Amino acid sequence: MLKIKNNFDLRSTITCGQIFRYIEDNNSFIVIIKDRVIKLTEEEDFIIIESNKYDNLKEIIYDYFDLNRDYNKIAVNILKKDDKIKNAIEYSKGLKMIHQDPFETLISYIISQNNRVSSISNSLNMISANYGEKVVFEGKDYYLFPSVQKLSRLTIQDFRNCKVGFRDKYLYEIIQNIINKKLNLESIYNMDGEDALKYLMNFKGIGMKVASCILLFAYQKFDVYPVDTWVKKFMKDDYNIEGENNIRNFTSTTYKEYSGLAIQYMFNYKRNKK
């Protein structure tokens, strides 16, 4: 067992729509990160962490939940630029941007296009159960997300069998492109947001929304962000700004390098606030 200081909001960070494959189990959340199954339980002052593997566990947790970044400082900087977002920021206090694996994020968000959350989770779980390595934790079976090499052996029909629908060919082609080095996920770390967007959108099945999600959630490029219906609603209600182009112009010029976070706060506030 590992104990870390509870200085973030575990529940909203996990459930706010960044990740698709988590399990809520009584008071705990189970997530599958890299090579292990991790159970997190929130207590008053601590988060209790259990896993099938304890080497480097603290580093993995800090990296995944982005616990070394000073979010208060970012919030102050956003507020300096715009005070009207205050309620959304206060509501989202403790929310972290999860640092996800690029390959899993790529596959997840390709599946997410024109799809609902339950269906996305279902497909990702099937892909993992069929092709990922099994890990037993507390007497139950879990499956790691499969490697590129493993998934490169699948046919289009194999993907279709995992209920991904018309996205089957996108997954197949993009994975082949990784194998033959036309798509290099590592090279994206060194690109700026704009170039990375263009690079990803060259591949069939990746449009603006999917590319933005990948860059924000896997590469922590905070100047890039998706605009979805909740963000549109927020912008219309609070700023009277409509249309994706207008929203993007306003967001990028106002929040600059913190746009992705500002958008996430708006999304979280609008989607969850009763």
Residues within the interface to DNA (CB under 7 A): 112-116, 118-119, 122, 160, 163-166, 201, 203-211, 228-229
Q: Which CB, 73 or 116, lies closer to DNA? A: 116
* Alpha-carbon distances of 85 from 54, 102, 245, 270, rounded to whole Å: 40, 30, 20, 11
Closer to DNA by Cβ: residue 146 or 205: 205
CA angle 134, 138, 142 (to 5 degrees): 25
- Min CB(117)–DNA separation in Å: 9
Cβ distance to DNA smaller for residue 205 or 260: 205
**Structure tokens, 244:** 């994706």
Min separation Cβ 119 and DNA, Å: 4
Cα 220-66-108 angle, rounded to 5 deg: 55
C-alpha radius of gyration, the chain, whole number: 19
Q: How far is the CB of 193 from DNA (least distance, A)?
A: 15
CB-wise, 23 or 135, nearer to DNA?
A: 23
In the complex, minimum distance from the CB of residue 201 to DNA, in angstroms, rounded to a whole number: 7
Q: How far is the CB of 221 from DNA (least distance, A)?
A: 16
- Bridge partners of 47? 4, 42
Using an 8 Å Cβ cutoff, are 257 and 222 in contact? yes
Residue (49 or 111) nearer to DNA, CB = 111
Burial annotation 231-267 (CB, 10 A radius, 16+ → b, else e): bbebbeeebebeeeeebbeebeebbeebbbbbbbbbb
